[in-house]
A = this chain, B = another copy of it.
Amino acid sequence: MATTILDIAKHAGVSSATVSRVINTSGYVGNETRRKVEQAIRELNYAPNKHAQLLRTGETKNFGIISTQFNETAVARINSFIAEAHTAGYTTTLFITNGDRKREREAFDLLRAKELDGIFLVYRANDWDVLEKYLEDGPIVTLHNVDRPEIPSVFIDHYEGNRLALSYAWNTGCRRILNVYGTPAGLNTARRIKAYTDFCASKDLTPYPSGPFLRILSPDDVDGVVDWIEEQPLRPDAVIAHSDNIAALLVSRLKKRGYKVPDDLSIIGFDNLFVSDVMNMTTVDYGIEEQGRNACRSLLKQLDKKSEDLTPLTFRLIKRGTTKDS
């Protein structure tokens, strides 16, 4: 059984109202009485009920992190967000929704219920029409490239990142460049597609269609792409992936079928994660961890708390072994 205020009062020989005044540092308590209560608290190893404390301050010093997935790309942002929040004195509650819209709304309801001081929305399940009503309940920041200025976002424009990858593929002699995409729910995919079609138009290349290469997220999806590549009379000579994990699967599966990377095909990833380092994969870097820190800084600023300024994020191509020399 947990120690209660009544136990403390009995042990110290005072009323529970007196114990309450000592714990809450409110109202008058004589020095001698205060000492007796504090000693009883120590002797009984008492921890005041935090929920009762929070009712008074109105702050939980706790940020929510919401994501549909818990993959390495999400984890890299979450990790740096947690570190930045910790420095600012905030704990974090992480909600993985697995794409469950009700579960996501329940997490947002905790902002309304003052259970959370702010929310970092990594990957969302609901439409913005559903989520935007929570803006009035507390600070929210998202990773999504959302075309509503009222929703704070630390997105980066994938248009620039994809253009960088496309230009590098072109400069290393590739002329049949295939792009594979993630979920089309956010604007990131739309911006990657626009970069692709613009680039193909500018170089007079015939673009591959985007439809069959949307939602490439799992090993099975990648196997499907590799099947498709093998069926082409004239195969693509480069594949640009929307994440390093998908690029890693592409390299792995192509090698298993006897293709040489980059001699037969170049592969370019995105995010500059651990896997791209150990697999020596060319990728696009933009400071994924800085993006997580920026998300935390945005929440702190919305709460008028002390915070560093947000770091501007820029793209950089990391040349490694899955592309030819330019």
Contact = CB atoms under 8 A, between A and B. Distances in A.
Interface string A18-57: 0000000000000000000000000001011111101100
Contacts of A109: 47
Contact of A75 (B70, B91, B249): B70
Interface stretch (A79-87, A184-192, A203-211): A79-87
Interface stretch (A93-101, A234-242, A294-302, A309-317): A93-101
Interface stretch (A150-158, A225-233, A271-279): A271-279
A220 to B, nearest CB: 13
A7 interface: no
A115 interface: yes
Given A72-B72, A96-B82, A112 B2 contact: yes
A47 B300 CA distance: 24
A55 B112 CA distance: 18
Interface in A241-261: 245, 248-249, 251-252, 255-256
A1 to B, nearest CB: 9
Interface residues of A, number: 50
Give the copy number.
Answer: 2
A50 B96 contact: no
Contacts of A68: none
Contacts of A55: 49, 51-52, 55
A49 B114 contact: yes
B275 A275 contact: yes
Contacts of A72: 72, 75, 274
A137 interface: yes
Contacts of A248: 274-275, 278
A49 B113 contact: yes
A98 B80 CA distance: 12
Given A54-B51, A93-B93, A110-B50, A278 B280 contact: no
Given A72-B72, A109-B47, A279-B279, A96 B114 contact: no
B275 A113 contact: no
Contact of A86 (B2, B82, B96): B96
